Amino acid sequence: MAQPLFILVGLLLAFGFSQAKLDVIADTEPVIVKPGEKVQLKCILQIDAKQLQVKDFMIQWFTKGRQVAEFDTKITIDKPGLSLSEEALKKGDGTLTIASATVEDSGNYRCYLTYKSDLSIKSLVLKVDDPNKPKEDESFEFSDTVLTKKVDKVIDWFGKFDAKMDELLKETKKCHPQGKATPAK
């Protein structure tokens, strides 16, 4: 169980992702709906729409191990019934809309929001409650949600660590102008 966490952390470090600078609004509690209802999973960059540079904004939505929607200068939807609003995207709003939720839509969703060189990853849980379906053991879903929150904390910590490393690098450059190293004595 811990191995996927180490792989995720390793990948984040290897690619140098920093997510400490983006302010993103997302659903923190599970979104619970009935079959057939319209669902909106929020992932919104908090930025003044006048300052947003759309060419530097990208959003990707994943569920069940596959990408289902993306905006990177154009909208790409890989699952029927899903949509992103082009007008909302121009304002930094990457809310994923499910036109008519089904029980199969239930699960964990991840929103990867990139702006300029910063990344924010938000996890959301969707539960489509079918009143005709017998209740299942929810302990697995709870542990999955707890694990997702812990992974989010680790990602946040690495974002802060990355920002601190950038700060230390700037301070080092001040001490050693023009990138010249001081010889050891």
Structure tokens at 86: 């082009």
Domains of the chain: 19-167 (2.60.40.10)
Angle between helices 139-175 and 2-14 (to 10 degrees): 30
Q: What is the value of pTM for the model shown?
A: 0.62
Q: Which residue has the tokens 């596959």?
A: 66
Q: Which residue has the tokens 């990208």?
A: 58
Per-residue pLDDT of the chain (185 residues; tens, 9 = 90+): 455 544 554 445 444 444 446 788 888 899 999 999 999 999 998 876 677 788 888 999 999 999 999 999 899 999 999 999 999 998 889 999 999 999 999 999 999 999 888 899 999 999 998 877 766 655 555 556 677 777 777 777 777 777 777 777 777 777 766 655 555 65
